[in-house]
Amino acid sequence: MCGILTIYKKEGIGRSDLDSSLKSLNIIKHRGPDGEGLILINTKNQEYEVILTADTPKGISGIGIEEIDFNKGYDLLLAHRRLSIFDLSIKGHQPLFYKEQVIVFNGEIYNFHELKEILIETGYTFTSGTDTEVILAAYNHWGKDCFAKFNGMWSLAIYNLKTGELTVSNDRYGVKPLYYFIEDQNFILMSEPKQILAFPEKMRGINTRAVNIFMDLGYLFIDHGTFFKDIFRFPIASHYCFKAGEKNLSFIKGPEKFYVLPNIIKNDISQAEVIKTFKKLFSDAVKIRLRSDVKLGIALSGGLDSTSIAFVAKEVLQNHNFTTFSVIAEKGSEGDESYYINLANKQLDSENIQVNPLYDFNKESFLNQIYQIGSPVADTSFFAQYILNKVIKKNGVTVLLTGQGGDEILAGYHHHFYKYTSELFRQGKIIKGIKEINKWSKLKGKSKRSVLNSAFFDFYLTTKTKLGLSKFPFDFQNKIFSTKRLIDFLKLEIEMLQLPYFLLADDRFSMASAVETRNPFLDYRLVDFVFSLPNQYKIRDGWQKWLLRETMSEMPDEIRYRKDKKGFTTPMQSWIASNQEMLNSLALVSDQYFPEHISKPLFKRAAMGAWIQNFIIKN
C-alpha cells in the first residue's frame, strides 16, 4: 500500500517540475513512510536515471538531484512512496524493474503466490517476495490480460523501456483510487487529488457541479469528477495504454474495460450448493487477505458483516489471535454498539480496543479529517473512521480487514428492500411482495402501511422516470430513478453511488495513519457469484443479507439475526449540538462562496467550509 505520482511533459521535465514532484510526494508521505523512489525517462530514446532523495532507502543505486542533467530530454517521471507490507527489504523498493519494464504500484494482489507459481512453471524467476514483481512478470507474460487474473486492489503505471508504452490501470471496484490532470496532451497521475497543490499553476479552483450535487442531494463522486476543477478520477476496472507523441489523449474515453459485473442469473443451482459455494468463496476471500509480513487486525462494528469476517479469520488462523478495533458511543446513546462488540469478542477470545471519537471532535481534528479525505463529508461517521485508524496505528497494526461492500453486494440497506418489493409488484408477484413487507415491517418495528407506501412510491417513481414523465436536474438521477431491478440498482451502488465514496474514505483515513485496509466482501469471485444469484438469496422472509446470515451459523444468533442496521454509527445530532459554534464558523466560510446553499443543513455547510479552508483559502 503506497502512493504514486506519474508525470508526462512532452516539452521536457525541468528542475522546477522535479521540485514540484517532490512536494507532491511529500503531501502523501503518510501513504508511504517507508521510502521514496523516483525515475526520469526519455521516452524518445528510452534512456533513464534513477533519482536518490533523502528518503530513498540505503542500498539503492542512482544519482542525487544535483547531478541530474535536465538537458537529456527526460519527459516522463515515475515516483513512489512505499508502505512495506510484503518483503520489507529494499527488494520491494519502487519504481521496480523487471526485464524491460518498470512500475509504480499502489495496492495489493492477494493471489500473487498462486500467480507466481504459474509464472515459475513457465520459466520466470523472482528475486523478491513482493507482489509488485509478480505484477511485472504477469504483464510481461500475459500483457494486458494479466489484470483480469489479479485478485486484489490496485492503481498502477507500467512503462515498457522497449516499446515506449505506458500502461495505466485501476482495480475492478476502485478500492485504490487513481486521479489525473490533463493539459495539452501532458498529464499528471496521482493517488490523491490534493497532490495537485504542489503544482499551483495547475490549480483551477472548485468544481461547482460537485458542490451542488453534495449540497442538494448528499451524493459524492457520482461521475469522474472531484471537488477540484479539472482533476478527474480514472475509470475503475480499466486499463489505458499511452505512447509518447500520441494525439487525442483521453483517460475517460480511451480506457479499455477488463471487467464488468455479471448479467446472467443462475436459476438452476440448489440452495445447498449456493450456501456451500458462498461459504467457500467467503472463507478464501478472508484467508488470502490475511497474508501479510506485518501485524494485522479487524475492524469490528458489532454488525453482521465485520463480525462474519472476524469469525472466519479465527477459523483460518486457528491458534493465532488477532486484535479487533471498535468505535463505541456513550453507553445507552444512539450508535452505542458495545453490547454486540463485547458479545462477539467474548466468543472470539480476541483483544478488543475501543475508541469513542466524540472526545477528539474539535475544529482542528475536523479540519484535518477533511484535509485527509480531500472532500466534504455528509455526517460524523466518517470522523469515527478517521479516529479509529489513528488508534489502530498506535497499536502497531498495519493491515486491517473491514466489512466494506457487504451491504452493496447482499442488499443490506433499507432502500434495497423497497426496490426488491417494487420489483416483485412489477412482476405481478403482489402476494409475495405483501408477505415480505409484513415480515420486514415486523422485524424493523415499522408500520406496514408506511413500508408499503415506500415500495409503491419506488414502483411509481421508477415507472414514471422510465417513461420520461419525470425529469431531474442531474442526468445521473434519471439513471438512478429509472432502474427497475434490484440487481441493476446494486450495480449502481457499486459503480457510482455509495460504495465509491465509502472506499474513498476507507483509503484516505487508513492511509492517513499508514494503515492498509482490505475488503473480503469485494473479492471479485464472491461478488460475481452473489450477482449471479436470484434475489431470494439476498432478501427472504424479511431478512436482508439472507445468504450471509444462513452461512454464518458459528456466530452468536444475537448478531446473526440483528434486526437493526448500523455501521460506524455516531450520535450525530448531539455532536452537532455540542459543537454548534465551531460548525457555524466553518459554515460561514461555505456561505461566502456558495450563498445559494445557505439554507442547507449546518453539518454539510461546515464540511464544505472546511474543504474550502483547507484547499482554496490556504492555497
Residue 226 belongs to a domain = yes
| 385 and 425 in a common domain | no
* Dihedrals phi, psi of 335, to nearest 5 degrees: 90, -5
Taking each continuous run of H as one helix and of E as one strand, the counts in the chain are 22, 21
pLDDT value for 568: 56
Residue finishing a domain among 431, 460, 495: 495
| 250 and 211 in a common domain | yes
Residue 122 belongs to a domain = no
The CATH number covering residue 252 comes to 3.60.20
**Structural domain boundaries enclosing 457:** 413-495
* Dihedrals phi, psi of 80, to nearest 5 degrees: -155, 145
* Dihedrals phi, psi of 109, to nearest 5 degrees: -105, 105
DSSP3 helix / strand / coil % (the chain, rounded to 5): 45, 15, 35
Grid coordinates of 458? 419506488
Asked if 354 and 344 touch (Cβ cutoff 8 Å), the reply is: no
The CATH number covering residue 558 comes to 3.40.50.620
pLDDT value for 1: 67
Residue finishing a domain among 495, 525, 555: 495
| 335 and 215 in a common domain | no
Give the up-direction half-sphere exposure of residue 573: CA atoms within 13 A in the CB hemisphere.
Answer: 3
Q: Mean pLDDT per 10-residue run, the chain (619 residues)? A: 93 96 97 96 96 96 96 97 87 94 97 98 95 97 97 98 95 97 92 95 91 92 88 95 78 87 90 97 97 93 96 89 89 79 93 90 95 94 94 96 97 96 96 97 95 94 88 86 95 93 95 96 98 97 98 95 71 84 97 97 97 92
| 316 and 191 in a common domain | no
pLDDT value for 459: 92
Q: How far is it, in rounded angstroms, from Cα 582 to Cα 597?
A: 19
The length of the chain is 619
Classify residue 206 by its DSSP letter.
B
The dihedral built from the CA positions of residue 140, 141, 145 and 148, taken in this order, carries a sign that is negative
The enclosing H or E element of 400 equals strand 399-401
* Dihedrals phi, psi of 183, to nearest 5 degrees: -155, 115
Residue 153 belongs to a domain = no
Residue 156 belongs to a domain = no
* Dihedrals phi, psi of 505, to nearest 5 degrees: -65, -40
Instruction: Please name the amino acid found at residue 578.
Output: S
Which residue in this structure is represented by grid cell 473479492? 523
Closest CA to 594 of 211, 172, 329, 338: 211
Grid coordinates of 165? 508504452
Q: How far is it, in rounded angstroms, from Cα 560 to Cα 558?
A: 6
| 605 and 467 in a common domain | no
Asked if 150 and 170 touch (Cβ cutoff 8 Å), the reply is: no
| 450 and 403 in a common domain | no
| 13 and 75 in a common domain | yes
| 547 and 479 in a common domain | no
Number of independent structural domains in the chain = 4
Q: How far is it, in rounded angstroms, from Cα 97 to Cα 100?
A: 7
| 418 and 402 in a common domain | no
Instruction: Decide the pairing of beta strands 256-257 and 63-64.
Output: unpaired
Q: Which of 2, 158, 189, 606 is catalytic?
A: 2
Instruction: Please name the amino acid found at residue 12.
Output: G
Q: How far is it, in rounded angstroms, from Cα 121 to Cα 124?
A: 7
| 550 and 430 in a common domain | no
Grid coordinates of 402? 473491514
Residue finishing a domain among 467, 495, 523: 495
Q: What is the pTM of this model?
A: 0.95
| 470 and 518 in a common domain | no
pLDDT value for 201: 87
Active site residue 2: yes
Asked if 507 and 175 touch (Cβ cutoff 8 Å), the reply is: yes
Which residue in this structure is represented by grid cell 514540484? 20
What is residue 250's three-state secondary structure? coil
| 344 and 295 in a common domain | yes
* Dihedrals phi, psi of 238, to nearest 5 degrees: -140, 160
Residue 328 belongs to a domain = yes
Q: How far is it, in rounded angstroms, from Cα 131 to Cα 109?
A: 6
Q: Roughly how many angstroms between the first and final C-alpha of the chain, as a whole number?
A: 28
Residue 419 belongs to a domain = yes
Residue 161 belongs to a domain = no
Residue 607 belongs to a domain = yes
pLDDT value for 588: 98
Residues near 518 by beta carbon (within 8 Å), at least 6 away in sequence: 108, 110, 153, 289, 399, 400, 401, 402
